[in-house]
Amino acid sequence: MGRVGVLLLNLGGPDGLEDVRPFLYNLFSDPEIIR
């Protein structure tokens, strides 16, 4: 079996409830994060 690596990152979070939707949109639309 080959090697397996796990990388954990803290990408921050939204400041308030109204910031959740834009935060998630920016997070999941970034091609550098979602590959």
Q: What is the pLDDT of residues 1-35, one digit of tens each?
A: 799 998 888 889 999 999 999 999 998 998 887 77
Tell me what pLDDT residue 18 has: 98
The structure tokens listed for 20 are 């959740």
Tell me what pLDDT residue 7 has: 87
Alpha carbon 3 to chain centroid, angstroms: 24
Given a contact cutoff of 8 angstroms between Cβ atoms, the answer to whether 13 and 23 are in contact is: yes
Tell me what pLDDT residue 14 has: 95
The structure tokens listed for 22 are 């834009």
